[in-house]
Structure 1
């Protein structure tokens, strides 16, 4: 399938940086009715961070359609302090207009310092519309249905105001909007049925996207030199669409890569569980019926590729007899090459008309067969070369291009295309438009692989588009430096990964010796820093206090319990001070997985338990231990019972229930090592300073084994696997591995 949307959205991402009435607060009500291409930006700051130096985007922005989008959306670069928003693109016969919709107040960056500017308030249907002029840019803003609106066209904005109360406005878009993953960086929606004019404007009148389907929704993921778009496409029952050819056809595993030569520019594979369903779909979609359709009834995979300007076709079958009989009647001559017969066919043979909707209007005049796969070519030399490469194993599945992309794609597809730089341009010329093909030809993405995938699923079509930098096989599994940051002083804590809830990306939180806490993006940008009174103790926990998918950072310092939001601001009332300091690391329990958290702060002998509102949990009775508490309490569940475990510095092990009552009475004392307690084989498992492994079951029975471990040994476990690190010997279950000498943590 055409991977055009991956390229269409890139330019937009790179350059995006008062009413009296209230109604439904959904943004669907304020999207213009004629909008056909829509982008939801879920985190403006992350978009800027991700795309400021993205090699893919930098390679495309000088040519159409990306330069067109850049120019259309340049006004958005004037805005400041935007968190998220939606951009809807509409088109008349000549121009593309945008409508920007956000909950954030619209403000112009450095407005007071601008020299060429003007601002004028207008009135339309009791709404205040503000006209801005900044240099050569003119745009209009208003407040409509709880949203701030910015629009490049006064006429379009007025139409939007007039239609805001229309009950069926954007009804077809509602379902797609609701199923999109708004935790991704950007969501994209294309109404193909309404989008012919905008597609012609961006891609040229030769564009073939209008024949693809009815709607397409995609979620964007960006990792440095990799861009992934994944979503759902859908046809409708009224029009003839490319997608409809695969209706009720189950995808199968694509294997043509095992036969295609390594020097293929691109390969497209089509999979069928029943080829006769494809023939039925052709008829239903008004494609002409061919007399020879039944000859291909045993085909289960079709592959098309290009090598040195010559095309090759692969037909993988589960029965060769019928097609072989037909080809025998079409032979002009036969010769042997490297143990294979090569047949020259009549140039007017019509067998390929059956699959013309998939491969285009191509006639192949040379053919051969290997095992159960027929191979066709427009050139005898190309076919001979392919046979040689198959016999020597010099096939596409061995190439760095395929190896780079293999793990990103599912094994079974209805349609799967993979191409190199040159092949991608040729593929786009044929399947999307010459404008888009030319844009990629003029880019600098020569060391990238391009892929698109369609998976039919009960009337819906899962879609994946991918652009990724090619890596050689010997470096794919190596570690490389992503960025480097120089701090003013040494670090006081180990860097820890945390999750950005807006896009699912990992970020880093770390503290230096001046007690400054930093949040750093995965591109190395310091997002914020906060001066603390002390050093963070142990792990920083991420919690969802308000159960809305937005994560906060919870931790203790030497004398404070703090919870910060994503921007480093304190979440009230979670700034609690403790006189005397000496706090242990914070413990966070979520007994039922419903985000009704219990925050446990321990200080010497004292135990403080708080709920989501920062209030002391009165039902928890164990507020004072017999001795000072070591490290932070731990929570385990065995069956339906909860266990809270604390280590005391007098050697006692306390095992409590949820309300702080003793659940298991342990009379023994232990010289605890620095390792945490683990739950292994449903037993509380830990080690002592003198190298003894202890296990305690839920009845309180204690077993021990003297492993003669060093004082600084390490231990970890899952429910079924125990791992011990002693000096440079790693033991997992009964297997021991000797590692190189070093310091292991």
Structure 2
């Protein structure tokens, strides 16, 4: 692998030949890695002098080198140099060692180190691990300066730093066709708190039991194994923060040392992709004294509350609260934990969850409830068999999910070089882990990368599946989840009102006759609150709920009070499954029905006297529920649960919005904004208090430009359409061009925007006149040079693969995308 990597990195034929000659000159080649610039690094190659004769012969042979060999001297030792293209290759000999590099000053450093009376060498750094046993006849040994490797990682990044885990590691390399495993030992100074491993001396390794809660959406999880909470407390900086400890003693009525003694062996952080190229985090703290921890945090929240009342939200069976104390998790566990400008928290069994954003905490709880977690993943549990089952510090990485974040963190130099290769390599891996386990004043170390054959197969052989119906498809496709298999399935309706249910392999599982055409869309509900999902929709003036086998759920169908609805939405205020059904007419009439389909007071109907741009929608903002309806003339209505106007509404934007809108979450009600774009090109933000926050004119490129806003399907962000008689463009939130489409002329185009994470971003442009669809990636590159024939199309994520499902006339097509 080393040979392949080095040779591939070369940029001309003669340089490749030189590297091949060096690598083949000795059975055991020694290569050292050095940071040379803020954003660059290079190698030094070492051979016994008697093994370097072939290299010397190559260097002295006539070739395409642009210069002859020259010599210079440093500290009495001769340095030889020759130029290959724009690179200078330097080499020297001393005692019985031949050393060479494409960075001349690295050879100078080698000579200075050799000549120094007081050597601070790499061997000195490794002294703590040199005595450990090595495996013979393996793929090689890797000697690691852990601080140096952290500095090396930083050369690839735009900014930031990476904490050092310890002093040094000595690892044996085991390589097969499907995996690379590095095993060995690492050293750390027990008293050097700049090294994370120093906190785990005399802590016994523990299993990763918090995997039962770790969301499958996580791109990485850092897990800390703790068996002596008191000892950990006395090593953490908080033990020396007298003022903060006094607050804990006074408010929590507890000794902080006893509080930490209740840590139930694990502390872990799940990392997710967030907005604006940032990571969002959820901290999982396993404790045996949850009541004490919650009481202490509650009292701290009361003491630091700056608003009129404490934030509290009932979400499903959980109480979510907020503590207005900046960086609380960091204060409690630094340097193991960093960040968390704000902290929302709740209890999940004997685990306390803390997150920076309440939306992140809600979604995390949803994942746990759906069992969409690593602990239930067959793939992850199979991978764990190749790792240390007990550890003190583990970093688990889902490489394919991590790609999107890593790609955005690369500096310009490495971003251009590594983006495509990095995606291919990471997508081919199932999981990766770096682990340290305390053992006899050192740390047994395991690094493992496992190849996933299934991912490679999907990448190499995307196959199109097609199903043919007897009657034309008129509604759908809709993507639904099978609660048994956790896989996605497809629902369509044909012209005879037949409802068809397909698996992803194109097999029709059942067909059911309906009394009429489905209105708007198909939803999924857990009507019986038993973690089993059913289909919910409206047809022929009736609400219908059908289970996954096609059977009606009692008491449905239920007749609704009116027959002219255009939109149907399911509202679950607090994830309690006490559903409400929000029915909307485009003319501006709103009904809200209870779970059984009965009309609720205040919504019989709620009339807003004007056509809407889209369906009325429910939003929960800092524990309060709002229903938003935006009229085409720019008048905005915002209601509470009872259908009453929120203070400040109706709000007249005095411009006509186009497309949809976007909810921009903030830390308070006042800083949470709705964003719309007007047809004539003004981006307007208004808040829940009925105040217009900003009006920003967008750049026009033609006098007939018209604009519209398109939100990402899961609400992550939005794009802006700029369209005129000659050209169709998509812009990002800042107004920068993403792509241009010249194929559709003046035809009407429907736009969909998907961000599945890990850099898997797609823009779907559907020419509704010609029934042709163009799919672009996140960089604005066209992925479908031959457009897809489709009257309706949707994209979805199943496992780790992205698909589209499209209907055209009598055909349903299901196509995996190339990752």
Q: For the superposition of Structure 1 and Structure 2, which TM-score range results when normalised by the shorter chain?
A: 0.3 to 0.5
TM-score scaled by length of structure 2:
0.43
TM-score scaled by length of structure 1:
0.47
